[in-house]
Amino acid sequence: MPQPTYYLIKVKEIKDNVYILEDGSLRAVLAVPGINLDLMNEEDQNLFLNQFKALLDGLDFPLQVFIYSRYENLDNYLKIIQARLDEEENPLIKFQIEEYMKFLEDYLANHKVMKKMFFVIIPYDSASAGAPLPLAKKLPETQDYQEMLFQLETRINYVTQILANMGLVPIRLNDLELLELLFESYNPSLRYGEIPKQIIEKLTEFLGK
């Protein structure tokens, strides 16, 4: 019998704003805004690329870049616009809102709106990382968890500062946002708020074991 998707996720626990993997390794996630180099002049492009090169040259640990694309559901946005229309009493503004809604509905009938999100994943591996899972579970803890968190935070601060200097101010995902990212990655057709409550509770319970 096929296992549920959440049994395939190699995340043992989410706490302290990090993923704790089955081998004890830690992963922090930064959400980073996108940037369009084509809109920059040549001087700004070169400056940005040199800063990015400096970031890579200064690393003594790996980084993972996760690009997440999904079709955006704008139904809730349309409901908000409709509510605004229902409340409006000024005929001119009411007409403008109606025209705007008509434009959106016509556009969405022929186009799919794609949302692209960028994440930088910062690791700190435990001493047992890379060992076969049964062995990794039996290895003694050679490094204190709080010390691992401290070392991870040092890496996060370094990457955050460099990205901020590039104009890409990152946002650290908290526990709930990390959980949401897992849900949306493994349920691309659903938004986090649309997933049945019992599934959320089941995965939350599973990750908390």
DSSP annotation of 13:
E
Distance of CA 109 to the CA centre of its chain: 28
Q: Over 80: is that where the pLDDT of 148 sits?
A: yes
pLDDT band at residue 202 under the 50/70/90 scheme: low
Residue 203's pLDDT is 60
Work out the average pLDDT over 17-41: 89
* Mean predicted confidence (pLDDT) in 102-115: 81
**For 54, phi and psi rounded to 5 degrees?**
-65, -35
pLDDT for residue 132 is more than 90? no
CA distance 173 to 186: 18
Average pLDDT over all residues of the chain = 79
Q: Is the pLDDT of residue 155 over 80?
A: yes
Same domain, 165 and 108: no
Q: How confident is the model at residue 168 (pLDDT cuts 50, 70, 90)?
A: confident
Going by pLDDT thresholds of 50, 70 and 90, the confidence category of residue 13 is confident
Mean pLDDT along residues 153-165:
92
Residues 123, 48 share a domain = yes
User: In total, how many domains does the chain have?
Assistant: 2
Is the pLDDT assigned to residue 189 strictly greater than 80?
A: no
Residue 150: what pLDDT? 93
Residue 192 is predicted with a pLDDT of: 47
For residues 122 and 176, membership in a common domain is answered with yes
**Same domain, yes or no: 9 and 59:** yes
Residue 4, token pair as written in the block: 């549920």
Task: Give the pLDDT confidence score for residue 142 in this predicted structure.
Answer: 47
201 and 135 share a domain?
A: yes
The answer on 103 and 201 residing in a single domain is no
Q: What is the pLDDT at residue 191?
A: 56
C-alpha span between 123 and 145 (Å, rounded): 14
CA dihedral 32, 54, 44, 34 (to 10 degrees): -10
What is the per-residue pLDDT for 138?
Answer: 43
Q: How confident is the model at residue 135 (pLDDT cuts 50, 70, 90)?
A: very low
In the beta sheet, which residues pair with residue 18? 15
d(CA 66, CA 44): 25
Confidence of residue 207 (pLDDT cuts 50, 70, 90): low
Question: What is the DSSP-derived secondary structure letter of residue 2?
Answer: P
Q: Are residues 103 and 166 in the same domain?
A: no
pLDDT of 139 = 39
Q: Which domain holds residue 51?
A: 5-71+115-207
* Residue 122: count of CB within 10 angstroms of its CB: 23
Residue at token pair 């955050």: 160
